[in-house]
């Protein structure tokens, strides 16, 4: 590294340390928006970039579109210089570009990097020497080095000398009151040692603890391990639920009892399927990449199969419960309680509730839903329902043939539901006692 190139690193780190750097956050969703607020809080000027003009307009008007992020916090950020734009040319204004865009699966359950690659391709023409790019989107090991680095080099940049490249996986847990962006340790791996130095300087002012690892690939695999650990354990407990059900044992009673062991056991809870932006998706990123190395990830794939089958198992329980009451799914009125992927949030990404709704609809049921966090069914890339949340009253509950409890929001009045619903299929273990109108699934 010559004197000029060393100067790029020194100036960038100095700007970050003195909080004179402009932080560009690309993708203003559940990951990017909290990160923006944190950088504004510690004194940085933040430029937000997103392709969604509606999101940009709302942010610039001081509004929020995520339930647990208040409009007041957005307005406060604006008063401190935050601005959102759809103009990728403005990336040149930023000293750091942090990419927080989705990494879904395609129709064949293979990694879809189109959001990451299209975003990078839109940023690179406007980049300049002395900038750092950080990818936070979950992906397979090698993405940063194999996909992003060549794109930067195609512009004549020398990564680690002219510009700096790191991978630092997001660890957001929407709605979790015990952790926030500042307090969740930040793993960071650089393409070179200079990149790593720049990455640590980028995140240290905003995050209490930065955890350096040896490479971008190690950082990418770290994120996958975290979420595959959860997916595998959820697959195990879902399989245990099926076994317990066949043996007429309450799996939730068993889990509560096992959790009293003060060592060697961590409780995981069954449900109607996996939801969220990470756990249903991330294992497939690793299994896909592992094939390149001639490896078959049997353990991970088996857990994925079990978890993917859970919505169909739940529907079979609904069918059996209706059948015992001389009804079929076809023609029945079904109210789905909770369509967010987990309780007490408005996050719909990969929600198993939506798959349940689609299966029931395809089988001829008349579908409605109630969710205090999702008043109107949102526009989604793959799922379409023209529905609004139904208020829960004694009369409305009694009008449905079955109430399918899919997401256990605290806001639901479970006593009211149990008292007035003809039939409840409980996928979350809310009703602990044996009740005549409750079937556990």
Q: Is the pLDDT of residue 349 over 90?
A: no
Residue 315's domain comprises: 230-440
Asked if 188 contacts 211 with a C-beta cutoff of 8 angstroms, the reply is yes
Residue 221 lies in a domain: no
Q: What is the pLDDT of residue 177?
A: 83
Q: Please work out, in degrees rounded to the nearest 5, the angle formed at the alpha carbon of residue 365 by the alpha carbons of 364 and 369.
A: 145
Q: What is the pLDDT of residue 1?
A: 60
Same domain, 150 and 251: no
Same domain, 194 and 337: no
Same domain, 38 and 183: yes
- 360: confidence class by pLDDT, cuts 50, 70, 90: very high
End-to-end CA distance of the chain: 62
Asked if 192 contacts 162 with a C-beta cutoff of 8 angstroms, the reply is no
- The residue-averaged pLDDT of 282-290 equals 91
Residue 224 lies in a domain: no
- pTM assigned to the model: 0.92
Residue 225 lies in a domain: no
Same domain, 127 and 164: yes
Residue 194 lies in a domain: yes
What's the full length of the chain, in residues?
A: 441
Which DSSP string corresponds to 46-97? EEEE-S-HHHHHHHHTT--SSTTS-HHHHHHHHHTT-EEES-GGGGGG-SEE
Same domain, 270 and 208: no
Q: What is the pLDDT of residue 212?
A: 98
Determine how many CB atoms are found less than 10 A away from the CB of residue 257.
9
Same domain, 161 and 127: yes
Domain CATH number, residue 272 = 3.40.50.720
Q: Is the dihedral of CA 367, 372, 377, 382 positive or negative?
A: negative
Same domain, 152 and 293: no
- 4: confidence class by pLDDT, cuts 50, 70, 90: low
Which DSSP string corresponds to 287-301? HHHHHTTT---HHHH
Same domain, 158 and 277: no
Q: What is the pLDDT of residue 3?
A: 59
- The residue-averaged pLDDT of 220-229 equals 96
pLDDT digits (tens, 9 = 90+) for 46-101: 999 999 999 999 999 999 999 999 999 999 999 999 999 999 999 999 999 999 99
pLDDT digits (tens, 9 = 90+) for 98-141: 999 999 988 788 899 999 999 999 999 999 999 999 999 999 99
Residue 243 lies in a domain: yes
Q: How many domains does the chain have?
A: 2
Specify whether 100 is catalytic.
Answer: no
Residue 364 lies in a domain: yes
Pairing of the two strands 424-426 and 402-405: parallel
pLDDT digits (tens, 9 = 90+) for 287-324: 999 999 999 999 999 998 999 999 999 999 999 999 99
Same domain, 195 and 239: no
């Amino acid at each position: 590294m010559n004197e000029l190139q060393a100067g790029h690193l020194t100036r960038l780190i100095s700007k970050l340390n003195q909080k004179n750097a402009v932080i560009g956050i690309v993708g203003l969703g559940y990951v990017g928006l909290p990160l923006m607020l944190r950088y504004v809080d510690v004194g940085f000027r933040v430029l937000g970039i997103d392709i969604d003009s509606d999101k940009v307009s709302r942010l610039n008007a001081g509004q929020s579109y995520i339930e647990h992020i208040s409009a007041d916090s957005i307005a406060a950020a604006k008063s401190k210089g935050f601005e959102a734009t759809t103009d990728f040319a403005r990336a040149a204004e930023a000293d750091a570009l942090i990419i927080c865009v989705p990494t879904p699966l395609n129709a064949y359950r293979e990694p879809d990097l189109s959001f990451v690659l299209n975003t990078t391709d839109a940023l690179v023409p406007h980049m300049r020497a002395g900038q750092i790019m950080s990818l936070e989107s979950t992906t397979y090991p090698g993405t940063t080095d194999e996909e992003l680095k060549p794109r930067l080099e195609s512009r004549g940049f020398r990564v680690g000398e002219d510009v700096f490249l790191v991978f630092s996986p997001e660890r957001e847990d929407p709605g979790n009151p015990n952790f926030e962006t500042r307090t969740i340790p930040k793993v960071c791996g650089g393409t070179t040692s200079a990149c790593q130095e720049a990455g640590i300087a980028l995140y240290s002012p905003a995050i209490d603890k930065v955890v350096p690892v040896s490479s971008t690939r190690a950082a990418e695999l770290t994120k996958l391990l975290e979420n595959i650990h959860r997916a595998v354990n959820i697959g195990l407990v879902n399989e245990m639920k099926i076994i317990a059900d066949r043996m007429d044992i309450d799996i939730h009673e068993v889990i509560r009892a096992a959790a009293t062991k003060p060592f060697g056991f961590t409780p995981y809870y069954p449900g109607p399927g996996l939801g969220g932006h990470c756990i249903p998706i991330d294992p497939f990123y690793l299994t896909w990449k592992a094939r390149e190395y001639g490896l078959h990830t049997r353990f991970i794939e088996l857990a994925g199969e079990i978890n993917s089958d859970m919505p169909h198992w739940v529907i079979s329980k609904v069918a059996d419960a209706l059948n015992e009451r001389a009804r079929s799914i076809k023609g029945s009125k079904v109210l789905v309680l909770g369509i967010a992927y987990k309780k007490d949030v408005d996050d719909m990404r990969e929600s198993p509730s939506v798959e349940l709704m689609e299966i029931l609809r395809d089988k001829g049921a008349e579908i409605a839903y109630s969710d205090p966090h999702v008043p109107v069914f949102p526009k989604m890339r793959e799922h379409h329902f023209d529905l609004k949340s139904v208020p829960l009253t004694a009369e409305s509950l009694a009008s449905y043939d079955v109430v399918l409890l899919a997401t256990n929001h605290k806001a639901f009045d479970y006593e009211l539901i149990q008292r007035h619903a003809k039939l409840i299929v409980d996928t979350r273990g809310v009703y602990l006692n044996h009740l005549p109108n409750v079937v556990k699934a």
